[in-house]
Amino acid sequence: MADLEILGAPQSNFVRTTRMACLEKSVPYILIPAFPPSPEVAAIHPFSKIPVIRHGEVKLAETRAICGYIDLAFEGPPLIPRDPVGAAKTEQWISMVNTGFDLVFARQYLLGYFFSKLPGGAPDRAKIDAALPKMREMFGILNRELG
């Protein structure tokens, strides 16, 4: 079968998640740097978001769907437990990280440091400081529940 191709920005946390799934399963892949709204990404994802994959005839968008495909299509240790309760709890935490933690940590805190719109790219302290209380709360929850 054809090589698995991951299209997306190498620094994206969602692209990184897809790459980690490949590494955990020992799945070789080719990373094709692509930034939305590139035509290659838009051809697979209707909202032109990354990552997307191509694997032979298979074309998929959305990190969770891609990781699920990698988990089921390739040999190696399961990424998601195969028992219903374990799988549900894992999916629960994936969802909470994607809809809560990512919004604060990646979209506010990290963007304030690495993608600041201030002169000279100086860190956006207002954006960073606004994210800190919520991050402390979320790290506390993650540590309590998963530590």
Give 70-91 pLDDT, tens digit per residue.
999 999 999 999 999 999 999 9
Do both 62 and 96 map to the same domain? no
Position 86, amino acid: G
Using the predicted structure, report yes or no on whether residue 47 has a pLDDT greater than 70.
yes
Q: What's the confidence (pLDDT) of residue 145?
A: 86
Do both 117 and 69 map to the same domain? no
Which residue bears the tokens 């894992």? 90
Instruction: Pick the closest to residue 146 from 92, 105, 102, 103 (CA basis).
Output: 92
Q: Alpha-carbon distance 137 to 31, whole Å?
A: 35
Q: Tell me, yes or no, whether 78 lies in a domain.
A: no
Q: Which residues pair with 48 in a beta bridge?
A: none
Q: Structural domain of residue 110, as residue ranges?
A: 84-146
Q: Phi and psi of 50, rounded to 5°?
A: -110, 155
CATH assignment of the domain containing 22: 3.40.30.10
Using the predicted structure, report yes or no on whether residue 1 has a pLDDT greater than 70.
no
* Residue, of 102 and 51, whose pLDDT is higher: 51
Average pLDDT, the chain: 91
Q: Tell me, yes or no, whether 43 lies in a domain.
A: yes
Instruction: Pick the closest to residue 95 from 70, 63, 72, 71 (CA basis).
Output: 63
What are 96-119's pLDDT values in tens digits? 888 888 888 877 888 888 888 888
Is the peptide bond prior to 51 cis by the omega test (within 30 degrees of 0)?
Answer: yes
